[in-house]
Amino acid sequence: MTDLSNSVSIRDLSLSFGAVTVLQNLDLDIKNGEFLVLLGSSGCGKSTLLNCIAGLLEPTDGQIFIKDRNVTWEEPKDRGIGMVFQSYALYPQMTVEKNLSFGLKVAGMPKDEIAKRIARASSILQIEPLLQRKPAALSGGQRQRVAIGRALVRDVDVFLFDEPLSNLDAKLRSELRVEIKRLHQSLKNTMIYVTHDQIEALTLADRIAIMKSGVIQQLDDPITIYNRPKNKFVAGFIGSPSMNFLTGELADDGGRTVFRTNGTSFSLAGYETIEALTPGRKVVLGVRPEHIKVDGDLAGEEAHDAIVDIEEPMGADNLIWLKLAAHTISVRIGGARRYAVGAKVRLGFDMTMASLFDAETEERI
Ligand SMILES: Nc1ncnc2c1ncn2[C@@H]1O[C@H](COP(=O)(O)OP(=O)(O)OP(=O)(O)O)[C@@H](O)[C@H]1O
């Protein structure tokens, strides 16, 4: 049976650097074996939160529990965590093997146990052929594997990753991403992973915590975050190109409420039973590029006139940017379908997949 108790619990955590408050009264529970991604743009406080869990920063207030033990004031080495940084942080003068064994030796672990752990970690990470090399003779991807190995040999409860793939080129990044996922599937340890890369977050996470200005905006599984974003910030942060936002208002159209912008009306499928849809309310309609259909597939559906502005063919997909009244809209269609710039087309919005936000609070309706 899966153990659903918490691995890491953060209670009422606050941290300020002098007058600058980075985290304020933050609560977060991470389950045993969970892969939790802290996602947010630069400066939102995700590294600060990770460093508090690691014990590299002292919180101003609040508590941190790992496996039900209050570790708020414990040394990093006593917390049962292993940390992997963006910068690898390997000892340049030591071989890979020494880099892996050093911490264990200092802790007084018997030689044969150290050898066993290095053999296991280097087999999992496929770095056996590199053990006698020094870091300077390794590629970035290999160095990061060794850095992960150093956390692995310590046999920790919780792995903490701080943007571990940011220094690698795009191809290597996607390869190592798959390996980290595989590592989690086989080890089943709790992993907390900081990134600003939404693809890493969507592909790796069991749950994503999206942060803005030190506050968790939404904590959910990737599909929920993608399809039912809690507010306009989350909706716009996840998804590339970004969700289309149309500002307008609700209006009464012969007894049913519709969304109206620049004289165009959109029926609100899926929202029929929501009482908050008062005519006159200012709202923002959010629709992802893949939830808009173009021409052909529109038999009998509500359609809106638009003009093709720019085409961005991307191989498997074709991204087209269109002018719809005063709005610029992006639509993702199959790569084989091409449109001439200036072409007049008709768009169908899949309103069952759309999101409505209050224009003022930006919260989901
Ligand atoms: N020692 C410090 N003194 C003052 N302010 C700091 C200090 N360390 C971090 N900050 C501030 O705290 C905020 C959060 O920083 P943090 O590094 O946690 O952000 P982040 O989301 O991880 O961003 P990045 O991805 O750029 O690392 C930032 O505004 C930063 O300038």
DSSP secondary structure, 71-94, as one string: -TTS-GGGTTEEEE-TT----TTS
Q: Is 47 in the pocket of ligand 1 (CB under 6 A)?
A: yes
Which 3 state secondary structure label does DSSP give 365? Answer: coil
The dihedrals phi and psi of 145, each to the nearest 5 degrees, come to -60, -40
Which 3 state secondary structure label does DSSP give 213? Answer: coil
- Residues 279 and 276: their CA atoms lie apart, in Å, by 9
Give Cα separations from 364 to 258, 274, 359, 360 (angstroms).
17, 12, 10, 11
As assigned by CATH, the class of the 6-237 domain is alpha beta
Which 3 state secondary structure label does DSSP give 329? Answer: strand
Structure tokens at 218: 């939404």
Q: Is 42 in the pocket of ligand 1 (CB under 6 A)?
A: yes
Percentage of the chain modeled with pLDDT above 70: 97
Name the CATH superfamily, with its identifier, for domain 244-358.
Nucleic acid-binding proteins (2.40.50.140)
pLDDT value of position 62 = 96
Which residue's CA lies nearest to atom 22 of ligand 1?
Answer: 47
Which residue's CA lies nearest to atom 2 of ligand 1?
Answer: 17
- Give me the numbers of helices (H) and strands (E) for the chain, helices first please: 8, 20
Domain with CATH 3.40.50.300 in the chain: 6-237
Residue 9 CA to chain centroid, in angstroms? 20
Structure tokens at 57: 């920063």
Percentage of the chain modeled with pLDDT above 90: 64
- Residues 219 and 187: their CA atoms lie apart, in Å, by 24
Between 140 and 314, name the one with better pLDDT.
314
* Mean per-residue pLDDT over the chain, rounded: 91
Q: Does 117 have pLDDT greater than 70?
A: yes
Q: Does 2 have pLDDT greater than 70?
A: no
Q: Does 65 have pLDDT greater than 70?
A: yes
Segment 249-254 mean pLDDT = 89
- Residues 68 and 236: their CA atoms lie apart, in Å, by 36
Q: Does 237 have pLDDT greater than 50?
A: yes
Candidate from 14, 15, 17 with most ligand 1 atoms within 8 A of CB, to mutate = 17
Which residue's CA lies nearest to atom 24 of ligand 1?
Answer: 42
Candidate from 13, 14, 15, 20 with most ligand 1 atoms within 8 A of CB, to mutate = 20
Which residue's CA lies nearest to atom 30 of ligand 1?
Answer: 43
CB within 8 Å of 109: residues ≥ 6 apart: none
Segment 126-135 mean pLDDT = 90
Candidate from 16, 37, 48 with most ligand 1 atoms within 8 A of CB, to mutate = 48
Domain with CATH 2.40.50.140 in the chain: 244-358
Expressed in angstroms and rounded, the spacing between residue 43 Cα and the centre of ligand 1 is: 5
β-strand partners of 322:
308, 329
Expressed in angstroms and rounded, the spacing between residue 105 Cα and the centre of ligand 1 is: 34
